Chain A
Amino acid sequence: MSSDSILLYSNVVALLALVSLLAAVELSVYRLVKGPDAARILQGRAIWLAWLVALVATLGSLFYSEVIGFPPCRLCWFQRIAMYPMAVVLLVGAIRREFQVKYYALPLALIGFAMSVYHVFVQWFPTLEGTSCDPNNPCSNKFVEIFGFVTIPFMAGAGFILIAVLLGFYVNQTAIPKETGRQV
């Protein structure tokens, strides 16, 4: 694959990551302002959206390793362990309308997010993992850096946080307090 194609693909996924981050922030603010009623905005779609994010992140990371040829480092593997199962678990939960699925997926999303944050720090501060580079595949290596700061673990972190926020929006609609009716 040519370097231009890799750059093109990376720009697209970097944009997706930034949009995901923005969406996570906006949804969180909305939730803070509106309270439990905020869940109405997505109704039952939150779980499907969360699944979509997990699926895109899973396929995106596989594309980097299996098509482009970037080998995952140790920290990448930890993030994959958190993300890949959610692509399956969330789908099953969405189809079965199992609201409990968020309690299984949320820890994965949060742990994955923590790993992504640490990985980003390792890239910014390489000495966190030593003062020399392992020739095989150091986690401090930035295969991709778009807009000066969007790296692969950054993209993963954006996905994890959006999934976590969306899971917070996935509630049993009947449990949301009903809006008060107008007085006639």
Chain B
Amino acid sequence: MSTKQQSPKRPAGKSESNRSLIYWIGGGILGLALIVWMAAAIANEGGGADAIAFGEVTVEGADLPFFDASATDPAIGITAPTVTGVDWNGNEYTIGPDGRPKIVVMVAHWCPHCQREVPILEQWYEDGGLPDGVDIYGVTVLTNQLRDGSTYPPSKWLEGDGWTIPTLMDDEGGSIATAFGLTSTPTYLVLDGDNNNLGRIAGEIGTDGYDALASIAAASLSG
């Protein structure tokens, strides 16, 4: 028989609950620190990036009716307004009755369909898909840093995809989007040399679609 006096053992349950309590207290302190940290971050509201995302725009003429992609374009044959704007490098462009038919593509930086379409369109453009005598312009519309900060400003996104198409930046009020009757992105608009609307199409259209638009624009040269 053992003569050693055994010291009373601490009940296992009590040390377990002490450990549990320590975890809860630790977690609570951590949670509180996180809340304070985030509150400080929220209070420290900074201004937006100084990125150039919008440009000055002038629109002359009546806006095209809004485009319902599910129906025939009601604006075919209607003269589109003359739009003047700038790109992020300050280059000025005018979409107007200059005797040259043109394709106008309106894209939004946060739109996944535009993000998929842009590299394909750029490749088509570089491969010489645009017929002689036809111009192409891009327009960055509906720019909104909140919707996708990673592609903001649009110039960052487009340049990242190797974009070389001359592009106007819409203003904060969406003047160009309104002028051309935008209802979704991407939207393509074909204009003849007198700035008459030959048709609009929305959505991802791929190279077959670009070829079709280019054909329509080129046909107006001989028409």
B136 on the A face (CB < 8 A): no
Asked if A140 meets B49 with Cβ closer than 8 Å, knowing A8-B38, A8-B41, A135-B184, the reply is no
Measured between alpha carbons, how far is A32 from B69 in the docked complex, in Å?
52
Q: Report A-chain residues with C-beta under 8 Å of the C-beta of B148.
A: 141-143
Against B, the Cβ 8 Å flags (1 = close, 0 = not) of A119-163 are 000010011001111110010111101000000000000000000
Say whether B147 contacts A143, CB under 8 Å. Answer: yes
Q: Report A-chain residues with C-beta under 8 Å of the C-beta of B177.
A: 135
Say whether A133 contacts B114, CB under 8 Å. Answer: yes
**Which of the candidate stretches B76-84, B92-100, B105-113, B189-197 sits at the interface with the other chain?**
B105-113
Query: Given A4, A130, A131, A145, which contacts B46 in the complex, CB threshold below 8 Å?
Result: A4
Q: Report B-chain residues with C-beta under 8 Å of the C-beta of A130.
A: 203
B150 on the A face (CB < 8 A): yes
Say whether A138 contacts B146, CB under 8 Å. Answer: no
A-B contacts at CB below 8 angstroms, number: 85
Q: Which of B45, B146, B177 has the most CB of A within 10 A?
A: B146
Smallest distance from the beta carbon of B154 to chain A beta carbons, Å? 14
A22 on the B face (CB < 8 A): no
Measured between alpha carbons, how far is A130 from B116 in the docked complex, in Å?
13
Number of B interface residues at 8 Å Cβ cutoff, please give it: 35
Say whether B185 contacts A68, CB under 8 Å. Answer: no
Say whether A133 contacts B185, CB under 8 Å. Answer: yes
A81 on the B face (CB < 8 A): no
Asked if A131 meets B44 with Cβ closer than 8 Å, knowing A69-B146, A123-B112, the reply is no
Say whether B203 contacts A131, CB under 8 Å. Answer: yes
Smallest distance from the beta carbon of A62 to chain B beta carbons, Å? 14
Q: Report B-chain residues with C-beta under 8 Å of the C-beta of A8.
A: 38, 41
Asked if A12 meets B149 with Cβ closer than 8 Å, knowing A135-B183, A138-B111, the reply is no
Q: Report A-chain residues with C-beta under 8 Å of the C-beta of B29.
A: none
Q: Report A-chain residues with C-beta under 8 Å of the C-beta of B85.
A: none
Against B, the Cβ 8 Å flags (1 = close, 0 = not) of A1-14 are 11111111100100
Smallest distance from the beta carbon of A5 to chain B beta carbons, Å? 4
Q: Which of B108, B111, B204 has the most CB of A within 10 A?
A: B111
Asked if A133 meets B112 with Cβ closer than 8 Å, knowing A5-B42, A8-B41, the reply is yes
Say whether B113 contacts A141, CB under 8 Å. Answer: no
A67 on the B face (CB < 8 A): yes
B121 on the A face (CB < 8 A): no
Measured between alpha carbons, how far is A1 from B202 in the docked complex, in Å?
33
With CB as the reference atom, state the residue of chain A lying closest to B185.
A133
8 Å CB interface, A65-84 against B: 67-70
Measured between alpha carbons, how far is A8 from B113 in the docked complex, in Å?
27
Say whether B45 contacts A132, CB under 8 Å. Answer: no
B187 on the A face (CB < 8 A): yes
Say whether A3 contacts B145, CB under 8 Å. Answer: yes
Say whether A5 contacts B41, CB under 8 Å. Answer: yes
By a beta-carbon cutoff of 8 Å, the part of chain B in contact with chain A is 34, 38, 41-42, 44-49, 69, 108, 110-114, 116, 142, 145-150, 177, 182-187, 202-204
By a beta-carbon cutoff of 8 Å, the part of chain A in contact with chain B is 1-9, 12, 67-70, 123, 126-127, 130-135, 138, 140-143, 145
What are 7 A-B pairs with beta-carbon distances under 8 A? A9-B38, A126-B112, A127-B204, A131-B113, A132-B184, A132-B185, A142-B148
The 10 closest A-B pairs by CB, nearest first: A131-B203, A133-B111, A2-B46, A132-B203, A132-B184, A126-B112, A5-B41, A132-B202, A131-B204, A133-B185
